[in-house]
């Protein structure tokens, strides 16, 4: 599965052709975003983290689940 991450990272890396001709700020933001995402993704895959959306929604609003039950009584 890590192969797919590398494929995506390679495709995203190919965008460098376009980014290279842009302003320095764009280049800097692009490289930072690319590296941060790649590191996060690799860590998430290697250590089997819970998906970020699940974690965030549960941390913020998980306390509501026992209060409202969607299942029919």
Instruction: Name the 3-class secondary structure at 20.
Output: helix
Q: Minimal distance in Å, beta carbon 67 to another protein?
A: 8
d(CA 51, CA 61) in angstroms, rounded, equals: 16
d(CA 14, CA 29) in angstroms, rounded, equals: 16
Q: How far is CA 27 from CA 7, 17, 22, in A?
A: 21, 11, 7
Taking CB under 8 A as the criterion, which residues in 10-49 touch another protein?
A: 11-12, 15, 18-19, 22, 25-26, 29-30, 33-34, 37-38, 40-41, 44-45, 48-49
Q: Minimal distance in Å, beta carbon 18 to another protein?
A: 6
Q: Which residues of the shown chain bind another protein in the complex (CB under 8 A)?
A: 1, 4-5, 7-9, 11-12, 15, 18-19, 22, 25-26, 29-30, 33-34, 37-38, 40-41, 44-45, 48-54, 56-58, 60-65, 67-73
């Amino acid at each position: 599965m890590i192969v797919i991450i590398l494929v995506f990272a390679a495709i995203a890396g190919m965008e460098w052709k376009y980014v290279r001709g842009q302003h320095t700020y764009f280049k800097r933001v692009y490289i930072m975003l690319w590296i941060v995402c790649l590191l996060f993704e690799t860590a998430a895959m290697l250590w089997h983290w819970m998906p970020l959306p699940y974690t965030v929604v549960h941390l913020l609003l998980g306390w509501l689940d026992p209060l409202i039950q969607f299942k029919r009584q």
